[in-house]
Chains A and B, each alone.
Chain A
Amino acid sequence: MSRRGRWGAGLAGIVVAGAVAVGVAVAPTAAAAPPLPPVTPEALAASVITAKPGPMNGTVTVDNELGLPAIPQVPQLGNGTSTVRVWSNGDGKGRAAIPSPDGERTLVSDGTTRWSYDSTDRTVTKAPAHPANAPAHPGRPGGVDPQTDPSGAATQMIADLRKTSTVTVDGTTDVAGRSAYQLVLTPLPTERTLLREVRVAVDAEKRIPLQLTVLATGSPQPALTVGFSDITFGPQDQSLFTFTPPPGTAVKDAPARGPGGQSGPPQGAQAPKVVGDGWDRVIVAQKPATRPNPNRDEGDAPDLSALGTPVSGPWGQGRLISTAVATAIVTNDGRIAAGAVPEQVLSEALGR
């Protein structure tokens, strides 16, 4: 009996030691906040806006707790963690690979053409690049997509939010092995928003945003964390920024782009209207000609009718879709209002 007991203890010890070893070997190591010279928020924010990071590659990890419905075409939007591998040569050419368990979506911008390849249906979609507002990385045209481009997303965000936010530098942090300043944007008390604060980790040397964290009111956990889990600056293989459709694939031209940055013919549609500014801005648009895209909280138009809960107000009747950081109302007469605001603000915006 005692021998058996010793045996059990020994085995348990070995297994526990092994489990710890697996954890240590595989889990990433946490690093302490590095000491960095102090910087004013204004200087930091300004340096972010003018930063030229040059060629780099890395892995972007998206930790999404937004509470959005899962959309099959874009599993990255559903709750959970996903990664995107990005390469950029620093002057508008770039490549992004969005892996899924059984395939991959590849986006390549070679300077004149944007290629998109989906391995699950083996189709290549090509579209001319827009030099005027070419994103730093391939991604959604005419804007930046936080899913694939945290640098562009955060830069745009800071520029917008400085008018209505308290901007502070809250110490330093370590992101993907690089020292970074924590730039914190807090909405002014007058702002009516669901967001508590937005934290942007800015690389101390290259001054590009490495990580974007969105915190909503009433939750200690970030609603969204988008950031590099691995980043390397330096010259990139130029062949990464070209794309040749592989044999046996269908190549088609992308449909015209609507002003909302979504595909779909914008015929007869009016541009989305923006009500308010700063944190409580609300986008009001017509369905289905154009779709607003402030927080990427909508799927295809037919899906919206099945989502959310019924609401009514002075503007009529519709359905309310709420997530951790954003709210949207789809009215029965085909209008959509969305923003990072409570329902009441949407109601007022629709009433205008």
Chain B
Amino acid sequence: MTTTADTPVTTRTHAPLGRLLGAELRWVLRRPRTLVVLGLLALVPLAIAIGVATAGGPPSGRGPGLVAEIAGNGFVLPVVALGLALALLLPLAVAQAAADAIAGEAATGTLRGLLLAPVGRVRLVVMKSAGVVMVAVLAVLLIAVVGMVAGTVVVGGAQGTLVTLSGTTLGVGEALGRIALVAVWTVGQLLAVGAVALAISTLTEHPLVVLASVLGGLIVFGVLSAIPSLEWLQPVLLTTGFSAGTDVLRDPLPFDNLWSSTIRALVYIAIGLVVTVVRMRRRDA
């Protein structure tokens, strides 16, 4: 609604995209719930770091999964934190942004103003997607950066190196490269969730339905992938690829799973965006 108010309609036949985007991003960022969610996400690596630091040095015997890898190996923290958050927390943040973007505006009646504004429907989708993308990028960046700082300060590195799962050591530069890679990959997976959430967002006027569908869908995907007789379904499920982020801790870096999960995410993004655009174009103001 702020966008229409700011746009000089008299002299233009359409609003400049940059300004629309700026307005949308400010609109998303000014929501207290967005900030609260981002703040809580930043606590994830902090909590892990404190937990690992208080637990002491490297565990003897078989540790409880990847978290044990962090002890004395701080660069692993952002990767593990992203992996843990990707299961539900990050999708929750993105789904919330997508729910607010369209269903939320429909619920408060402000979507009508946007639909009536001199903005093409595709531009409207681009703008709304940008808000979701921003939340995804910010959330991942926050976890990665806080994770890196907490990993270095609280946990401490193994002589400034990253010890991979394969027993090799990587220098700081390569370690940062690996973390950047997993961050970019995580954003890709989140955008797939976000695109589907946007599509659901166009189908309902209740933001809670979007949240429930996305989180419920992720849980159902998890259940389906745990059933052995439904193994053939695995290539289609988005969650199948969620564990591929761990691969950046292996050396040499295996790209197969990172690549196939990215392709899968791209297909989800395409489906979500197509449904969103079609639905928004046909929508009555």
Which A residues lie at the B interface, using CB under 8 A? 10-11, 14-15, 17-19, 21-23, 25-27, 59, 80, 85, 97, 99, 101-104, 106, 115, 117, 119-122, 124, 230, 237, 240, 243-249
In order of increasing CB-CB distance, the 10 nearest A-B pairs are A117-B167, A18-B271, A102-B65, A104-B165, A119-B165, A246-B163, A26-B235, A102-B66, A22-B267, A106-B166
Mark interface residues in B64-88 (1 if CB within 8 Å of A CB, else 0).
0110110011000000000000000
Cβ–Cβ contact A247 & B235, under 8 A? no
Q: Does B51 count as interface, using CB distance less than 8 angstroms?
A: no
Q: Which residues of B contact A97 (CB under 8 A)?
A: 166, 250
Q: B58 contacts the other chain (Cβ, under 8 Å)?
A: yes
Verify if B168 is at the interface (C-beta below 8 Å from A): yes
CB distance from A29 to the nearest CB of B (A): 12
Interfacial residues of chain B within 219-256, with CB under 8 A of chain A in the complex: 228, 235-236, 243, 246-247, 250, 252, 254, 256
Q: Does B278 make an interface contact (CB < 8 A)? A: yes
- Assess the A245–B62 pair: CB atoms within 8 A: no
| Cα(A97)–Cα(B249), bound, Å | 12
Q: Check B267 against A122 for contact (C-beta < 8 Å).
A: no
A246, closest chain B residue (CB): B163
Q: Is the CB of A121 within 8 A of B63?
A: yes
Asked if B264 is at the interface (CB within 8 A of a chain A CB), the reply is yes
B63 touches A120 (CB 8 A): yes
Nearest Cβ distance between residue A67 and chain B, in whole angstroms? 13
List 12 contacting pairs A-B, 8 Å CB cutoff, sorted by A.
A22-B267, A97-B166, A99-B247, A101-B243, A103-B66, A103-B165, A119-B167, A122-B58, A246-B161, A247-B159, A247-B161, A248-B58
B37 adjacent to chain A (CB < 8 Å) = no
Choose one: B158, B167, B268; the contact of A243 (CB below 8 Å).
B167
Chain A residue at minimum C-beta to C-beta distance from B235? A26
Given contacts A121-B62, A247-B161, 18 further A-B contacts (CB under 8 A): A17-B271, A18-B267, A22-B264, A25-B267, A26-B264, A97-B166, A99-B165, A101-B65, A103-B65, A103-B66, A104-B165, A106-B166, A119-B69, A246-B161, A246-B167, A246-B168, A248-B58, A248-B158
What chain B residues lie within 8 Å of A244 (beta carbons)?
168-169
Q: Mark B residues whose CB is within 8 Å of A.
A: 58-63, 65-66, 68-69, 72-73, 158-159, 161, 163, 165-169, 228, 235-236, 243, 246-247, 250, 252, 254, 256, 260, 263-264, 267-268, 270-271, 274-275, 278
Q: Is the CB of A19 within 8 A of B165?
A: no
Taking a contact as CB atoms under 8 Å apart, the answer to whether A18 and B166 are in contact is no
Is A19 a contact partner of B161 (Cβ separation < 8 A)? Answer: no
A residues within 8 A CB of B72? 248
Specify the main secondary structure of chain A where it touches its partner. Answer: mixed
In the complex with contacts A22-B235, A102-B246, A246-B169, A121-B61 CB distance below 8 A = yes
Q: Kindly identify which residue among B163, B228, B267 contacts A21, using a CB–CB cutoff of 8 Å.
A: B267
- CB <8 Å contact, A25 and B264: yes
Asked if A104 and B274 make an inter-chain contact with CB atoms under 8 angstroms apart, the answer reads: no
With most chain B CB atoms within 10 A of its CB, the pick from A102, A120, A230 is A102
- Pick from B62, B73, B159, B228: contact of A120, CB under 8 Å: B62
C-alpha spacing A331/B167, complex, angstroms: 41
CB of B250 within 8 A of CB of A104, answer: yes
Residues of B within 8 A of A249 (CB): 163, 167
Name the residue on B nearest A18 (C-beta).
B271
Cα A99 to Cα B250 in complex, Å, equals 9
B165 CB contacts on chain A under 8 angstroms: 99, 103-104, 106, 119
* Nearest opposing residue in chain A for B252, CB measure: A240
CA distance A288 to B282 in the complex (A): 74
Contacts of B169 in A (CB 8 A): 244, 246-247
Report yes or no: B166 in contact with A119, Cβ–Cβ below 8 A: yes
Question: Distance (Å) between the CB of A6 and the closest chain B CB?
Answer: 10
Q: A23-B236, A99-B250 are in contact. Are A104 and B166 (CB under 8 A)?
A: yes
Measured between beta carbons, the chain B residues less than 8 angstroms from A17 are 271
Please state if B166 and A247 are interface contacts (CB–CB under 8 Å).
no
Residues from chain B with Cβ under 8 Å of A19 in the complex:
236
Selected contact of A101 from candidates B228, B246, B254, CB within 8 Å: B246
Most B-side CB within 10 Å, residue of A11, A101, A103, A230 = A103
Chain B neighbourhood of A122, CB < 8 A = 58
**Residue numbers in B under 8 Å from A237 (CB-CB):** 252
Whether A25 contacts B166 by the Cβ 8 Å rule is no
Give the distance to chain B from A120, nearest Cβ to Cβ, in Å: 5
A21 to B63, CA, bound (A): 39
Give Cα A104–Cα B62 distance, bound, in whole angstroms.
12
Closest-CB distance, B175 to chain A (whole angstroms): 13
On whether the beta carbons of B163 and A10 are closer than 8 Å, the reply is no
Residues of A contacting B65 in the complex (Cβ-Cβ under 8 angstroms): 101-103
Whether B278 lies near A10 (C-beta < 8 A) is: yes
Q: Please measure, in the bound complex, the distance between the C-alpha atom of A10 and the C-alpha atom of B202, giving whole angstroms.
A: 15
How near does chain B come to A74, taking the closest CB pair, in angstroms? Answer: 13
Q: In whole angstroms, how far apart are the Cα atoms of A245 and B159 in the complex? A: 13
A102 to B246, CA, bound (A): 8
* Complexed CA–CA distance, A237 and B251 (Å): 12
Contact between B274 and A14 (Cβ–Cβ < 8 Å)?
yes
> CA separation between A176 and B278, bound complex, in Å?
41
Within the complex, which residue of A14, A25, A102, A246 is in contact with B158, where a contact is CB–CB below 8 Å? A246
Q: Which residues of A contact B235 (CB under 8 A)?
A: 22-23, 26-27
Minimum CB distance partner of B69 in chain A: A119
CA distance A97 to B254 in the complex (A): 11
Residues of chain A within 8 A of B63, CB atoms compared: 120-121
Which chain B residues border A14 with CB–CB below 8 Å? 271, 274-275, 278
Cα distance A80–B235 in the bound complex, in angstroms: 16
Which residues of chain A have C-beta atoms less than 8 A from B166's C-beta?
97, 104, 106, 117, 119
Separation of A267 and B39 alpha carbons in the complex (Å): 61
Beta-carbon nearest neighbor of B259 in chain A: A26
